[in-house]
Amino acid sequence: MQTSLDTQDLWRTQHRDCAAEPSTDLDLDRALFIRSVHAGHGPECRQYLAAAAYCLEHLDDH
């Protein structure tokens, strides 16, 4: 992933709340980032679940 630190900071801020409804404007880079940040948070982490589902659906595209 070649994402700038500014973009990573923005994503980290936008997706920091595990209980918040996940954003619907994901792309693969953002989903991979969110998944890595929220990995290990458990089955109630909505951010991780949405990112992981997106990755599963789109990983074959690349």
List C-alpha distances in Å: 59 to 5, 17, 26: 23, 25, 13
* Cα separation of the two ends of the chain: 12
**DSSP assignment string, 8-27:** HHHHHHHT--TTSPPPS---
Cut 0.85: pTM above it:
no
* Sole residue written with tokens 């997106």: 54
Contact 26, 57 (CB under 8 A): no
pLDDT band at 3 (very low <50, low <70, confident <90, very high): confident
Summarize pLDDT for 26-52 with one digit per residue, the tens.
999 999 999 999 999 988 999 999 999
